[in-house]
Amino acid sequence: MQYYCGTNSFSVKHNPFILPGSTTHYARDRDYDIQHVRLDLVVDPEKKRLEGTAHLTLKPITENVTRLEFDAVELEVKEVKLSDNKNGSGRRKANYENTGRKIIVYLDQALKTADNVTVSIRYSGQPRR
């Protein structure tokens, strides 16, 4: 089968956007949609170190979300807080686990698709690059 794009033609077997030998990667399943990200960072180039807080506002896309997972390779997590944006309640500390590769935030109440929450993660680390 041949497709024509302008003056070029290509077959189904050839995809010009994939490098030879590369493997296919699929987006992972997710339970929420990130609506807004705010980063407060302090960078120390001499020590090759950074620290800061990531404020992630999210909305569940499935019902009864009881935990949130974020990539956090080699980050030292100091604190995680939650804010309920629906009723404006203040930030409260959240239970979490740092596996060394990701942060798992355990919610005290399951989130519904109508909910909106902000997770604030205070962390530090030394990026390799």
* Model pLDDT, residue 81: 95
Decide if pLDDT at 84 tops 80: no
pLDDT band at 1 (very low <50, low <70, confident <90, very high): very low
Decide if pLDDT at 49 tops 90: yes
Instruction: Give the separation between CA 97 and CA 100, rounded to whole angstroms.
Output: 9
**Tell me: the pLDDT tens digits for 86-128?**
555 577 899 999 998 999 999 988 999 999 999 999 999 998 7
* Model pLDDT, residue 104: 96
* Model pLDDT, residue 127: 80
Least trusted range by pLDDT, from 23-32, 65-74, 92-101: 23-32
CATH architecture of 31-125: Sandwich (2.60)
pLDDT band at 16 (very low <50, low <70, confident <90, very high): low
Cβ–Cβ under 8 Å, residues 77 and 69: no
**Pick from 78, 91, 82: nearest CA to 51:** 78
* Model pLDDT, residue 26: 74
**Pick from 99, 97, 86, 93: nearest CA to 119:** 93
Q: What is the mean pLDDT of residues 39-53?
A: 94
Instruction: List the domain boundaries for the chain.
Output: 31-125
* Model pLDDT, residue 2: 47
